[in-house]
Amino acid sequence: MNREAIGRLVVRLYPQEVQETTGRELVGTLLDAGDMSAAAYLLELASLVRSGLWARAKVELTRPLGQIVASALCWLAVMDAMSVLVSVVGIRLYWGDTPGSSPETVAYAYILPALILVVSTLRRCRITGILGLAWVAIFLYQHQKMSTGVFLEAVPLQTAGFALLVARPDKPLPAGRFLWPAPALVWLVYQVTLLGQQSGVGKITPVLAALVLLPWAPALALGTALDWGLTAIYYLNLHHIAQSDPHFVVEAVEFGVGIPVAMLVVSLARRAAKTA
């Protein structure tokens, strides 16, 4: 890849407005530095990368709070589908088990989650929402006698997120469509290793992975934290079923702690972006 192509690629880190107004100028500055020396070129390249990431972070973090919340709700729904897919893959890799072979189970565990991730990455929001609502409908069909805890964990917020994608396909997912594999990979590590499953830190690593991506996709970070935080409801439900077994309360706290952490970090990052 030549220097100009690298420059054009780096400019894509900047917000769309900057790309259109000063993109050529930024590439020209990089090429001028390259004419001086290789060291000057690398220093200018590093400066462009840093400035581009910070410019994008400011745009994302200073979006209206309502837009970030709506996007986080949509990301929660998408990431929940991802977590189901990664979970069944992880269980199959680690234990050799499968979630079942009925058409409904295959559609719910494999086909629809994979399609949801593909079309959301392609920014086909309305199609994502329609597939997501079908995915939730299959869950309801399969769990007609579910407990209140299971319902609250898997249905209301996911339905709202997918419905929002259908109703407002031009709004909900401003950033993060190429970043979701990072928390997905961490969640897979959690599923297939004893370190992840037996460690409190392991249970919040998907949240930590999302927070690393927060400057460029705060809604994705918050949505991911909310998604795994909902697992706390599942463990509280087990706590009730198991006649107040304190082990499940500890599990609930370990999963739920990511929510306030993510909200605090988003708040601090927004304040820093507005005052910078």
Q: Give me the tens of pLDDT residue by residue for the chain, a chain 276 residues long.
A: 588 888 888 888 788 788 888 888 888 888 888 788 888 888 888 888 888 888 887 888 888 888 888 989 999 999 999 989 988 887 776 666 666 667 778 899 899 999 999 999 988 999 999 999 999 999 999 888 888 888 988 999 999 999 999 998 776 666 778 888 888 888 887 777 766 666 666 667 667 766 677 767 888 888 888 888 888 887 787 777 766 667 778 778 877 877 887 788 888 888 888 887
Q: What secondary structure does DSSP assign to the chain, as a single string?
A: --HHHHHHHHHTTS-HHHHHHHHHHHHHHHHHHHHH-HHHHHHHHHHHHHHHHHHHHHHHHTS-HHHHHHHHHHHHHHHHHHHHHHHHHHHHHHH---S--SHHHHIIIIIHHHHHHHHHHTT-HHHHHHHHHHHHHHHHHHTTT--HHHHHHHSHHHHHHHHHHHH-TTSS--S-TTTTHHHHHHHHHHHH-HHHHH-HHHHHHHHHHHHHTTTT-HHHHHHHHHHHHTHHHHHHHHHHHTTS-HHHHHHHHHHHTHHHHHHHHHHHHHHHHHH-
